[in-house]
Amino acid sequence: MRIVEATLFALQIPFVEAFAHSVRSRSSSDSIVVRLRAEDGTVGYGEAVARPYVTGETVAGCLQFMERTLWPAVQATDYVPWAGQEEIAWLGSLTLPAEANETSGVVAWHGSRCGFELALVDCLLKAAGVSLGELLPPRHPVTYSGVITASSVEGAVKHAKRFKQFGLPYLKVKITGEADQERLAAIRAAVGPAVSLRVDGNGAYSVEGAIATCEALAEFHIDSAEQMIPRGDPQALATVQAATAISQMADESLITLADAQTLIAAKACRGFNLRLAKCGGLGPTLAIAELAQAAGIAVQVGCQVGETAILSAAGRHLAAYLPEISFCEGSYGSLLLREDLSRRPIHFGHRGLAKPLKGPGLGVEIQDALLEKYAQQTISLLAKAV
Amino acid sequence: MITLSIRPLIETHYVNQVQVFADSPWFQHLEQGQASRQEYDAFIFNLCQTHLKSPQILAFLYAVAPPTAAPQIKHNLLEELGLDQVAICHPDLLYQLATAAGFDGDRQTHLAEAAQAQIRQLCTDPLLFGTIQELGLSVLLEVTCFEWMLSRLASRIGKALAAHRGLPSESLTWFHHHSEVDIRHAEEGLDSVEQYLAYYEIEAEDLETILDITFRENIFVKRYFADLPAIAGAADENR
Ligand SMILES: [Fe+2]
Ligand SMILES: [Fe+2]
Ligand SMILES: [Mg+2]
């Protein structure tokens, strides 16, 4: 099946409240939605998120890569609809380039690739009348974590109390090296001993700082420490892991399959944070998950802050399908965005629980009117006449 | 000790919500006659959409009300439906406003559908609270906060629509009703909240959190100015 039209929507959807972590603070979501139309009229939606401090991609760079590299590749392909093939093999057959050249400052065009891959998967599965849940059958219910991002300790405690009121059993706390102990002490006191707490440093610490911080926070029973030190030498992360009892989780350090291999070889960490827009979409993420499983590394399904229902839906399918996940993030939907793109709400409910999505494709109905409403820039691409 | 501090705590949130709303650039534009006709009409549409289903919301609150608060909420519900001695149905007043603003049949149908869609959304949204008790409190706080705001600003809004949108006085009855009448309502609303908290034995800490959740953004800006274009300087309206 041929794809005859692509539309790229660079969105800006305001957040209900501004969001901050150690690297960036934002007041709106800046996702790029990819809408593909197949020759039979079926439409599929994918989502890319550009994070300069993760993959090196910017919104403008993504749009350019999509237009110049991904769209020609998609146009040139006659896709085989899914008809029961093995999932990783079929997803792998959707060849989509993502390699970046060394000078671009981009690790890999994974956000961009993810946008196109999800749109293709949505489109091809919808054309076959199949849900992604048939390709990736759910093995267990999904429970989402709350993420506490407030910059002040007082604000962090407020958020912790909200999440406690919502019955969330797992919370992740963004830390920056400022008032970490005070923050964790206050949050632990607010949520009680039963709630699982973990931290994410977003690369704000040195090796020594990371080790000292893990030691200082141990009394608050931290279940995992994510990306304490910046992306770089896996040996450095291995040093942190060897020196602390808290499981280290790689996030920004884990973008490509090669990253996964070197992290495993260096025994750098005990957990991987898999994020679709960071790892390049479902195919590459599943490949990393397979490696992790074989190496005994725990996987968390992470998200992009400000993602819309499209990435949330794909993340939900992934999380339910993977044999075992340590934690799951995402599906904040209208809890974070002033308006989400799906007709029915995607966000989780009490205790962080969310139902599997059963509709065709990714299982969410995207409202085109909202794409137009929030688009800052729209690029229409038509297939060249054959 | 704790019971004594509940009312001022809730009032602080209400005062803050009303203040942020009244100080918002959108409200200022409307009141000072700087909004375009389209913006006035969008505001009228949103206001009608917000309040058209008040009877349904009050019926929900009536269903969950403690016996002490039930008569008052029932009275408000009947008043809203025009089934009390005053016999003015409030949704009808909103349609009078819409008609005076020149909303044709199609636009009024769209309005009715939009109001119904909000009720549907309330039902389809995955529930974050663990029980109806917390959801009921959150709805009660929002409804009583609206009454609080209207008792202070309804006549100003009505005057602005008369002066700058040229609406005749008889089309603005809804605003007249909710300015004087709701000073009493707003106080009674706070009584209901106190009765609700006592009946369901809701702890002060949970009340604080539910207040924080309910008022994490400005409920008036959210409902009345949802689709109005951003006004410079308004981006960080909600903290
Ligand atoms: Fe009324
Ligand atoms: Fe009333
Ligand atoms: Mg992270």
Nearest CA-CA distance, residue B114 and chain A, Å: 14
- What is the distance in A from the centroid of ligand 1 to the CA of B185? 10
Q: Does A144 touch chain B (CB under 8 A)?
A: no
In terms of pLDDT, which residue wins out, B187 or A179? A179
Q: Determine the 3-state secondary structure of A16 from DSSP.
A: strand
Nearest CA-CA distance, residue A137 and chain B, Å: 23
Cβ atoms < 10 Å from Cβ of A169? 18
Enumerate the domain spans of chain A: 3-129+365-382, 135-354
Note the CATH number of domain A135-354: 3.20.20.120
Confidence of residue B232 (pLDDT cuts 50, 70, 90): very low
Say how far apart CA A55 and CA B162 lie, in whole Å: 55
Residue among A4, A5, A2, A8 nearest A371 (CA)? A8
Question: What is the interface size between A and B, counted as CB pairs within 8 Å?
Answer: 55
Q: Look at residue B181 in the predicted model and tell me its pLDDT.
A: 64
Q: Does A343 touch chain B (CB under 8 A)?
A: no
Q: Look at residue B235 in the predicted model and tell me its pLDDT.
A: 39
Contact A165 B206 (CB under 8 A): yes
In terms of pLDDT, which residue wins out, A150 or B233? A150
Confidence of residue B234 (pLDDT cuts 50, 70, 90): very low
Q: Look at residue A240 in the predicted model and tell me its pLDDT.
A: 98
Which residue segments constitute the domains of chain B, with CATH numbers given? 7-225 (1.20.910.10)
Contact B236 A27 (CB under 8 A): yes
Nearest CB neighbour to A349, from listed B128, B238, B239 = B128
The answer on pLDDT for B2 being more than 60 is no
Q: B121-178: per-residue pLDDT in tens?
A: 999 999 999 999 999 999 999 999 999 999 999 999 999 999 999 999 999 999 999 9
Contact B212 A162 (CB under 8 A): yes
Q: Look at residue A26 in the predicted model and tell me its pLDDT.
A: 72
Say how far apart CA B162 and CA A1 lie, in whole Å: 60
Q: Does B209 touch chain A (CB under 8 A)?
A: yes
Can you point out the beta strands (E) in chain A? Answer: 3-11, 13-20, 25-29, 32-38, 43-48, 142-143, 146-148, 170-174, 196-200, 222-226, 248-250, 271-274, 298-301, 327-328, 353-354, 375-382
Q: Which residues of chain A have pLDDT under 70?
A: 18-25, 385-386
pLDDT average, residue stretch B23-39: 95
Q: B71-107: per-residue pLDDT in tens?
A: 999 999 999 999 999 999 999 999 999 999 999 999 9
Q: Does A158 touch chain B (CB under 8 A)?
A: yes
Q: Does A16 touch chain B (CB under 8 A)?
A: yes
Per the DSSP assignment, residues forming a β-bridge with A200 are A174, A226
Contact B121 A345 (CB under 8 A): yes
Q: Look at residue A16 in the predicted model and tell me its pLDDT.
A: 86
Q: Which CATH number fits domain A3-129+365-382: 3.30.70.260, 3.30.390.10, 3.40.630.10, 3.20.20.70?
A: 3.30.390.10
Residue B228, both tokens: 């109005």
Q: B37-67: per-residue pLDDT in tens?
A: 999 999 999 999 999 999 999 999 999 999 9
Q: Which residue of A has its CA nearest to B217?
A: A16
Q: Look at residue A320 in the predicted model and tell me its pLDDT.
A: 98
Q: Look at residue B230 in the predicted model and tell me its pLDDT.
A: 61
Confidence of residue B237 (pLDDT cuts 50, 70, 90): very low
Residues of chain B with Cβ-Cβ distance to A27 below 8 Å are: 235-236
